[in-house]
Structure 1
Amino acid sequence: MDTILNPLYYAVSWIIVQFHSFFSLIFNKDSGAAWGLSIVSLVVLIRICLIPLFVKQIKATRNMQALQPKMKAIQERYKSDKQRQSEEMMKLYKESGTNPLSSCLPILAQSPFFISLYQVLNKIAGGHEVGFLDQELVDSARKAHIFGAPIASKFMDSAAKVESLGATLTDVRVVTVIMIILMSLSQFYTQRQLMTKNVDLTVKTPFMQQQKMLMYVFPIMFAVFGINFPVGVLVYWLTTNVWTLGQQMFVIRRNPTPGSLAFQQRQERLKARGKLKEDPADVEARKAVEAARAARQQPKRQTKSKRQVTGTTQPTAGSDKKTTLEKGQSGQAGDETPQQGGGSSRSAKSGQRKGGPQRPKHPSKK
């Protein structure tokens, strides 16, 4: 392993030496500030070099988003056959040239640098030269403390080893625990922000399940393995997590995934500022609706007296039919209903009391 990564040892150590030479002009060359800032600067430099990979990650996420309708169709079609569903998903990825693991590219790309820094700090803790760090620089780095903890010390180190580095075991463990917690929380929040704000939750895909799993797995991994990381490595990983968090917040705010919560929030912000450009099809549809409303003739409002006059003088065909029907029904009803034109209802009732014959309402048919 050392033979394979030996070129990276030289690269990492050379970068640290150059940054240390610069910060030694501002701080004491043996101070934790000079060495700690050198490690932080190493992270910033690596992350700047990884920006093209980050852009590729964003494009891969967009491609995954474009495949969401097809993924949903596959899920509905093979709802009861999970194996066939997975096969069809893999086939879709292959045909579209999309790799769901592209989101892990930045992490995979910095893994060799992470391993190299880990080994360089281990060499420093043992007092051995490594790469461009000669014995004088190694001794200087061993004296550097960050918040009271040597940059080459670990949580699991013995009290004797920590004392040989000029610190106490309590200081080392307190600093490492705090940094491990911050490192795990920053990783969890980064993944949670991605899942809750920048993913279309209407479609469940294996990609989403993978991201959800990483949201819980990575923080646990950092917490478990962090106790074996030197303080300098914890500084490295905490810095890269904070960089990732800030970079992701910037991208989600400026260029969110269509259909996500962040996209809706961005649309609302642009609409409030008057900068939202509407879809031409939506504009034409809205104009057509407004024209139809304007062309529609609204009925004129009439007074009660006018409505009564209109209803009396100009009966409709429907009302004539209704009157004829009512008259026919009244004729069949016989003497249960009083005749409209043959006398008042009072005289009809009086005739019934006297027992006299009743006048028929309609002439009988011969």
Structure 2
Amino acid sequence: MLNFIYYPVSFIMWVWHKAFGFVFGADSGISWVLAVIFLVFTLRAILYKPFVGQVRSMRKMQEMAPEMQKLRKKYANDKQKLAAEMQKLQSENGANPLGGCLPVLVQVPVFIGLFHVLREFKPGKTENYFFGADEVRSFVDSDFFGAKLGASVVNTQYSTTSLAELGGNLTSQLIVMIPLMIIAGIFTHITARHSVARQAANPAAMANSQTAIMNKLMLYVFPIGVVVGGPFLPLAILFYWVSNNLWTLGQQYVVYKRIDAEEAEKKEKASAQRNSLAPKPGQKPQRDVRGVTDGATNGAAPADEVEIDSNGSGDGDPSAAPAKKPGAKPVNKPKPGAKPVGGKPANRPAGQGGRPGGGNRTQARKGKKRR
């Protein structure tokens, strides 16, 4: 029924056994152990990009934790509205909670497939999916320091071929399996601790009770489960478990370091952009005077620093005159202390007698005659 899982798993293992069998020999236990280990590495290499997406999704979910906590309090009595608002928040931030589960979900069928393929390595069997009769016999006869890869210490009806059927002995099996069980439990704990340490950087995310429970399960229950369940698993599965945790540790280090570097670079760029737009210390703001924003644009001095003569030109030099808006009237503004040009006061029309207040006296006389 699950041949779509069993065939790909057996094929990858078959390819690696052929490669390492060419170096160490087809019947060597080392060739079979390396075939299992590189089956793990092949799978994890295929899942590298989904793992990066998982880390990014987890980072976004952690950043959204305060907003999600507010929504839980606001819609505590309306589950339907809460689900809609949560989905809206995740959509706006580009977060996908299911994206973080994909690498784990894919590894589950591979684990099941490998377990099933190992069960089918039985004495006298003529084929095992991609493996032929000679390769089945090679696996049954091989051992790793006296321990049989397809046998477990404790056999059940769902377990693999018994240790006696494969021609092994309990002492050799325990000598190899016990250290592997302990190592598998330790690596599982270290991997979980590394993940929890990343979450600890966000107190809002750690405040969630479900997250706290899950972290405790990852830190303590899963590692203990590996050690306790080790005797019921084939030796090859323990090699699978140890190599999988080793890959996870290395991959977490590389991916987290890369994402941290990307975020630091983004922060530096944003800070540099803000600094470039901010005014420098002591810098005066630019003013727009008579349409001239900055006299430096045309090489002339600012408009309020140009000397204006009676004709409205700057110091008699047309090239030095500031640019004027179309239709603007000339402004005859003398410099402080300058004498009027032509003996007349500055800004006085000629028709007012040339004296201050001349126009007002003439109007006063006309008013008296009318009376």
Residue 283 of structure 1: CA displacement? 3.7
Contact 1:100 1:207 (8 Å CA) reproduced? no
Change in Cα spacing, 1:127 to 1:153, as seen in structure 2 (3 Å) is: farther
Change in Cα spacing, 1:88 to 1:55, as seen in structure 2 (3 Å) is: farther
User: Which residue in the other structure is 2:212 paired with?
Assistant: 209
Alignment coverage as a number of residue pairs:
270
Letter in 1 for 2:40: V
User: Which residue in the other structure is 1:30 paired with?
Assistant: 27
User: Which residue in the other structure is 1:7 paired with?
Assistant: 4
| Distance across 2 between alignment mates of 1:209 and 1:152 | 37
Does residue 56 of the first structure (1) align with residue 56 of the second (2)?
no
Identify which of 99, 113, 121 aligns with 1:124. Answer: 121
User: Which residue in the other structure is 1:279 paired with?
Assistant: 271
| Distance across 1 between alignment mates of 2:98 and 2:106 | 13
User: Which residue in the other structure is 1:351 paired with?
Assistant: none
Residue 73 of structure 1: CA displacement? 2.6
| Distance across 1 between alignment mates of 2:252 and 2:195 | 8
- Calculate the aligned-residue CA RMSD, in Å: 3.3
| Distance across 2 between alignment mates of 1:100 and 1:55 | 14
User: Which residue in the other structure is 1:233 paired with?
Assistant: 237
Change in Cα spacing, 1:15 to 1:284, as seen in structure 2 (3 Å) is: closer
Deviations 1:168-197 (A, max 9, x none): 202212322221221122122112111113
Unaligned runs of 5+ in 2: 284-371
| Distance across 2 between alignment mates of 1:156 and 1:33 | 23
Residue 27 of structure 1: CA displacement? 0.5
User: Which residue in the other structure is 1:220 paired with?
Assistant: 224
User: Which residue in the other structure is 1:18 paired with?
Assistant: 15
Deviations 1:66-113 (A, max 9, x none): 3123024346x46xx9x6498776444422244445433212101111
Contact 1:10 1:131 (8 Å CA) reproduced? yes
Does residue 200 of the first structure (1) align with residue 198 of the second (2)?
no
Residue 126 of structure 1: CA displacement? 5.4
Residue 36 of structure 1: CA displacement? 0.9
Could you say which structure has the greater relative contact order, defined with CA pairs below 8 angstroms and 6 or more residues apart? 1
Q: Secondary structure at the match of 1:150?
A: coil
User: Which residue in the other structure is 1:252 paired with?
Assistant: 256
Identify which of 110, 114, 119 aligns with 1:113. Answer: 110
Contact 2:184 2:245 (8 Å CA) reproduced? yes
Query: TM-score, normalising length from structure 1?
Result: 0.64
Residue 152 of structure 1: CA displacement? 0.4
Letter in 2 for 1:55: V
Letter in 2 for 1:244: T
Query: TM-score, normalising length from structure 2?
Result: 0.63
Change in Cα spacing, 1:287 to 1:166, as seen in structure 2 (3 Å) is: farther
Q: Secondary structure at the match of 2:163?
A: helix
**Structure with higher helix content:** 1
Contact 1:65 1:257 (8 Å CA) reproduced? no
Letter in 1 for 2:114: L
| Distance across 2 between alignment mates of 1:291 and 1:208 | 51
User: Which residue in the other structure is 2:176 paired with?
Assistant: 175
Change in Cα spacing, 1:206 to 1:279, as seen in structure 2 (3 Å) is: farther
Letter in 2 for 1:248: Q
Change in Cα spacing, 1:206 to 1:61, as seen in structure 2 (3 Å) is: farther
Does residue 94 of the first structure (1) align with residue 95 of the second (2)?
no
Residue 54 of structure 1: CA displacement? 1.1
In percent, how many aligned pairs have the same letter? 29
User: Which residue in the other structure is 1:154 paired with?
Assistant: 152
Matches within 5 A, 1:260-279: 279=271
Change in Cα spacing, 1:174 to 1:167, as seen in structure 2 (3 Å) is: same
| Distance across 1 between alignment mates of 2:242 and 2:120 | 21
| Distance across 1 between alignment mates of 2:101 and 2:210 | 12
| Distance across 2 between alignment mates of 1:228 and 1:146 | 18
| Distance across 1 between alignment mates of 2:55 and 2:101 | 11
Change in Cα spacing, 1:44 to 1:251, as seen in structure 2 (3 Å) is: same
Residue 211 of structure 1: CA displacement? 4.4
User: Which residue in the other structure is 1:306 paired with?
Assistant: none
Residue 31 of structure 1: CA displacement? 0.8
Change in Cα spacing, 1:84 to 1:102, as seen in structure 2 (3 Å) is: farther
Letter in 2 for 1:232: A
Identify which of 114, 136, 139 aligns with 1:138. Answer: 136
User: Which residue in the other structure is 2:246 paired with?
Assistant: 242
